[in-house]
C-alpha cells in the first residue's frame, strides 16, 4: 500500500489520525480472513472480484465456515448434538468384547458382568447406553496362528456361540440382528441390535461351505485376512503371495456377494483392496480402518482406494486405535505385527503369549492422540471419497491405546459434537454415525436377492 498523507504531530498530543490510503484498483481487491482454513480458501473463485461462499450441497459437503476447526480442548456435548445423536442409529463396525471373555476364560459370563460397570474394559451395557449405541458388530476374532494349529474353525464357532449366548443373557439390552430391517426394528424397540463379524479369512480354513455355515449362524461380515497372508488373500502386515486375491480368493468374494455377507477389507493389503473392489458386485466395507494419508500404517486406506470405494458404494469405518490414528504412534508401532509373530513363536502356549504381549505393549508405549485426530480421519475420508462413504469402527476392547476423550463406548456423542462444531449438518452426521453402513448392508442384501432370483429362473 502507498501512504499519500503522513502523520501530523502537534505539541502535547499523543494520538492523532491523519492516515489515508492510496486507492487500490477495484479489480485487484479480494476479501480474505486470517481465520479461514486452507480448505475454505480453496473454495474462493479465483476470478471473482469479491470472494463469496459457494452454494452448499447438503449431500456432498459440509456447510462452508470461516471458523477454523477446533482441534483441542474439552468436548462439551450440547443439547443439539445429543438430539442429533439420539435421532441417528449409531452403528459401530467392530468391538472385541467377545475376545475379552475368552481371555478371562469366562464362557459363562460369571467373571465379567457387563450389566454393571466394567472399568477395566471399554465396553459394558451402561456405557453403551450412555454412548447411544444403536447397533454393534461384535467380532468373532480368533488368532491368525490358529490356521496352522488347525483350530481356526473350532475357535470361531465357539466365539460365534459366545456372542449368541451373550445376547441372550442380556435380553433387555441386546437382540441379534440378521438384516438391515432387523437393525431398524430392534433400535425402535430400544435395544442394541447385535451383529456378528468374523475377523479373518483363516476362520473358514479354505472352505466355502464353512463360509456359508457362518452366514446361517448369523455372521454378516468377514474380514478377508487378519495379520497374516493367506494362500488366497494378502494381508497388509505380511508378505504377499497372490499380490491381491488368488482364484479361490475371488470365489470367496463372489460367494459372499451371493449369500449377502459384507466383504470387509480391513487388514488386507492395498493390492487385495483393489482386487476385491474390482470384482465385488456389492458395496464393500472397511470395518475398522483409517486414512493412510494422515497416518501411513499399511492397515490404513490410501486415497486411491478411497476413491475406488466411493465408486463401489462402500464405506470406510474409522478405527480409534492410537497406533492407526497418530502419525508418531504409527512410526513407533510399524513393526508391531512382526513383534507379535515373534512372540507367538517364542510362547506357543496362548496364555503365556498374552502375558508377554501385554508386557511388550507396556514396554513400548505410544502417544494416545486425541478425539480430534479421529475426526480428522473422518474428514479426510469425506474429502476424498464423499460424505456417503465413511462410518465408525472403534475396535474397542481389542486395542491397548485409545485417544484422549475417546476412552470407551460412552464417548461417541463427543464425535457428534465435533462434527457439529466443524459445520456438518444433521443429515450428514446421521450418515456418518450409521446411515451409510445401513445403506451398504441393504444394498448387499439386494445383490444377494438378485442372485437368488436369477437362480430360480
Residues with catalytic roles: 94, 96, 199, 226, 267, 288, 395
392 grid coordinates: 465408525
Buried b (16+ CB within 10 A) or exposed e, 276-307: bbeebbbbbbbbbbbbbbbbebbbbbbeebbe
Whole-number Å distance between alpha carbons of 115 and 198: 25
Q: Where are the alpha helices (DSSP H) in 334-425?
A: 336-346, 350-363, 371-385, 412-421
CA angle 291, 122, 175 (to 5 degrees): 95
- State CA 323 to chain mean position distance: 13
Pairwise CA distance, residues 154 & 256, whole Å: 21
Residue the block writes with cell 492395498: 270
Residue with cell string 492407526: 324
Query: Strand 133-140 and strand 192-199: pairing?
Result: parallel
CA-closest candidate to residue 167, choices 142, 191, 187: 191
* DSSP letter string, 279-341: H-SS--EETT--BTTTS--TTSBPHHHHHHHHHHT-EEEE---HHHH-HHHHHHTTTHHHHHH
Neighbouring C-beta atoms of residue 359, cutoff 10 Å: 11
* Spatial separation of the C-alpha atoms in residues 448 and 257, rounded to whole Å: 6
- Residue of 396, 393, 387, 384 lying closest to 419 (CA atoms): 387
Ramachandran region, residue 244 (left: φ > 0; alpha: ψ -120 to 50; beta: rest) = left
**70 CA to centre of own chain:** 21
Distance of alpha carbon 83 from alpha carbon 416, whole angstroms: 10
Amino acid at each position: 500500500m502507498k501512504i499519500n498523507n503522513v502523520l501530523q504531530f502537534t505539541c502535547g498530543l499523543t494520538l492523532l489520525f491523519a492516515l489515508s490510503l492510496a486507492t487500490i484498483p477495484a479489480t485487484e481487491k479480494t476479501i480474505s480472513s486470517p481465520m479461514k482454513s486452507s480448505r475454505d480458501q480453496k473454495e474462493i473463485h479465483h476470478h471473482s472480484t469479491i470472494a463469496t461462499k459457494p452454494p452448499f450441497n447438503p449431500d456432498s459437503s459440509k456447510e462452508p465456515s470461516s471458523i477454523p476447526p477446533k482441534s483441542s480442548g474439552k468436548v462439551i456435548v450440547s443439547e443439539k448434538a445429543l438430539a442429533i445423536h439420539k435421532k441417528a442409529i449409531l452403528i459401530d463396525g467392530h468391538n472385541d468384547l467377545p475376545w475379552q471373555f475368552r481371555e478371562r476364560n469366562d464362557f459363562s459370563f460369571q467373571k465379567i458382568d457387563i450389566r454393571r460397570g466394567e472399568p477395566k474394559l471399554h465396553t459394558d451395557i451402561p456405557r453403551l447406553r450412555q454412548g447411544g449405541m444403536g447397533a454393534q458388530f461384535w467380532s468373532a476374532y480368533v488368532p491368525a496362528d490358529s490356521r496352522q494349529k488347525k483350530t481356526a474353525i473350532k475357535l470361531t464357532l465357539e466365539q460365534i456361540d459366545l456372542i449368541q449366548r451373550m445376547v441372550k443373557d442380556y435380553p433387555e439390552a441386546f437382540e441379534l440382528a440378521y438384516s438391515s430391517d432387523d437393525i431398524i426394528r430392534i433400535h425402535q424397540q430400544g435395544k442394541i441390535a447385535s451383529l456378528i463379524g468374523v475377523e479373518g479369512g483363516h476362520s473358514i480354513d479354505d472352505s466355502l461351505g464353512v463360509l456359508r455355515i457362518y452366514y446361517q449362524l448369523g455372521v454378516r461380515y468377514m474380514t478377508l485376512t487378519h495379520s497374516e497372508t493367506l494362500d488366497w488373500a494378502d494381508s497388509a502386515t505380511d508378505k504377499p503371495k497372490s499380490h491381491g486375491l488368488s482364484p479361490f480368493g475371488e470365489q470367496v468374494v463372489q460367494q459372499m456377494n451371493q449369500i449377502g455377507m459384507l466383504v470387509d477389507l480391513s487388514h488386507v493389503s492395498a493390492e487385495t483392496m483393489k482386487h476385491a473392489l474390482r470384482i465385488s458386485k456389492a458395496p464393500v466395507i472397511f470395518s475398522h480402518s483409517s486414512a493412510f494419508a494422515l497416518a501411513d500404517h499399511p492397515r490404513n486406506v490410501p486415497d486411491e482406494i478411497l476413491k475406488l470405494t466411493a465408486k463401489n458404494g462402500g464405506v470406510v469405518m474409522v478405527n480409534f486405535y492410537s497406533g492407526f490414528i497418530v502419525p508418531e504412534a504409527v512410526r513407533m508401532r510399524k513393526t508391531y505385527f512382526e513383534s507379535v509373530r515373534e512372540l507367538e513363536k517364542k510362547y506357543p502356549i496362548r496364555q503365556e503369549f498374552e502375558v508377554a504381549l501385554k508386557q511388550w505393549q507396556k514396554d513400548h508405549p505410544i502417544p494416545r492422540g486425541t478425539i480430534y485426530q479421529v475426526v480428522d480421519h473422518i474428514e479426510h475420508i469425506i474429502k476424498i471419497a464423499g460424505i456417503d462413504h465413511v462410518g465408525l469402527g472403534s475396535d474397542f476392547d481389542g486395542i491397548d491405546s485409545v485417544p484422549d476423550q475417546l476412552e470407551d463406548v460412552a464417548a461417541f456423542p463427543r464425535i457428534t459434537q465435533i462434527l457439529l462444531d466443524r459445520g456438518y449438518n444433521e443429515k450428514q452426521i446421521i450418515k456418518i454415525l450409521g446411515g451409510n453402513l445401513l445403506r451398504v448392508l441393504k444394498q448387499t442384501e439386494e445383490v444377494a436377492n438378485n442372485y437368488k432370483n436369477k437362480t430360480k429362473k
